[in-house]
Structure 1
């Protein structure tokens, strides 16, 4: 399943960039749907269709219009959803609107920064694809490195309450994998200094781990093990996007500053 997802990402990223944008919108849309349905099981009401429309406008706007369109689409979507919920009455209004804004930020707004990376015009558009590849590969390396180090060496728990399977040994494996992959890809694809990629990898491992813990906290509060079973062996789409969307912002900042 992981190899199939990787093949779809790379093929769309380097052959038709707009197709990759569609892949992002579909993936994030599935993740948003999982969150909305999980909230609904706890009696928290979030309107699915306008939320998906707003998410699509944010990601598409970021690609074609840049940061102003991303933030503008986000603000307008939140305002529309607040009005939408108000028309249904005032009972539990604050609770539902708060959950709605959470979903519009995580993962919708955060995913828009992938579109900002993709839209980079350098080297006839190739640099944007390379930066997205570096972001995805480095974050995936965190999961892979942490998994193998955790199952073979893991003894000391990071947070037994939030995520009992995460260990400090696994975190060390994630860090080594992230920095190795980051240094290699930045030197190969962007022809930049290796230390820049190592720095990106070091930042990614921190935020990817935090992203995983954030989703674990949400799932524990909602009383679910996985967001869904849409990806065999992986759980739900949000179970794959959790590290990516949180690591995306610092990677975007670093690539913008360093490259």
Structure 2
């Protein structure tokens, strides 16, 4: 006796129907994996806050950079601790607070001196504790100091040469060139992320580094370069008062640095076994997921502007 065919509602679900059931309805997350409206809103709010402080309250900008560095270091500390590596957080946090401020008031010499002093403090702090895991702990502390607060402090160095050491909060005689240099660097990093995301999500087919960051494609990289070149040329013509070709040099340097920073953080996250450093920023992940490009771009921008200062 043949068994009656089950009604449509009683049939076993196929792979496609199970996939459709798991897919959330009305979720604005596109192919590249971000909640796009949240990412745009948070990104614009951060950009406005940073540029506003940079152009109108330089010390406030430095304090904002310091706050971002502290949150980024805290994310790294928690991720390392989850993997069994105990970073000496007290001297590392003290150095994180001191590095951007020393760059603002003391320039490059002050930044380098504070970095060396912070590394020595990590070593001395760890030497008074047990010897178990000491080398790994010291390396984690020095690595975190060099990766996050030291590199991002290069964003404050142009403000020192522009009169940032004065006690006046607002710029006494207009906005100096150093502030515009930092603003251009930030705009180029945003252009790198924005155009790379748009082009990569729409046309990306060839992974750039599939074992490190599968979603980053060569098509997206080309979009980053093209978009950053447009922004760089416009910035040189209307903001920096430089020849148009300087914008091309800055764009290529910023895209290369930002991409390297993104891939470097992806490697760290893969080693730590985490997708995002945290979920504090909707649509973005953690603070380090936003700083990854900037921490590499800031020193490269500082060097490029120094080399191109006579142009």
> Aligned residue for 1:251?
301
Q: 2:221 aligns with which of 161, 166, 171?
A: 171
Is contact 2:73–2:144 with CA below 8 Å preserved after alignment? yes
List runs of 5+ in structure 2 lacking aligned partners.
1-41, 164-172
SS of match in other structure, 2:279: coil
> What displacement does 1:186 show?
1.9
What per-residue deviation string (whole Å, max 9, x for no partner) do you get for residues 196-225 of structure 1?
111010111111111000000000100100
> What displacement does 1:50 show?
2.2
Q: 1:94 aligns with which of 114, 118, 135?
A: 135
> Aligned residue for 1:239?
289
Q: Is 1:141 paired with 2:191?
A: yes
> What displacement does 1:6 show?
1.1
Instruction: Flag the structure with larger Rg.
Output: 2
> Aligned residue for 2:68?
27
> What displacement does 1:158 show?
0.8
Is contact 1:120–1:127 with CA below 8 Å preserved after alignment? no
TM-score, normalization by structure 1 = 0.97
Number of equivalences: 259
> What displacement does 1:246 show?
0.6
> Aligned residue for 2:15?
none
Is contact 1:159–1:166 with CA below 8 Å preserved after alignment? yes
> Aligned residue for 1:209?
259
Instruction: Output the CA distance in 2 between the equivalents of 1:244 and 1:176.
Output: 19
Is contact 2:88–2:138 with CA below 8 Å preserved after alignment? no
1:113-128 counterparts in 2 under 5 A? 113-121=154-162, 126-128=176-178
List runs of 5+ in structure 1 lacking aligned partners.
none
Is contact 1:227–1:237 with CA below 8 Å preserved after alignment? yes
Instruction: Output the CA distance in 1 between the equivalents of 2:297 and 2:54.
Output: 19
> What displacement does 1:235 show?
0.3
Q: 1:72 aligns with which of 113, 123, 137?
A: 113
Q: Is 1:85 paired with 2:126?
A: yes
Is contact 1:119–1:125 with CA below 8 Å preserved after alignment? no
Q: Is 1:107 paired with 2:148?
A: yes
Structure 1 stretch 40-49 or stretch 205-214: which is displaced more? Answer: 40-49
Instruction: Output the CA distance in 1 between the equivalents of 2:103 and 2:175.
Output: 15
SS of match in other structure, 2:161: coil
Q: Which runs of 4+ in 1 moved over 6 A?
A: none
Instruction: Output the CA distance in 2 between the equivalents of 1:110 and 1:101.
Output: 13
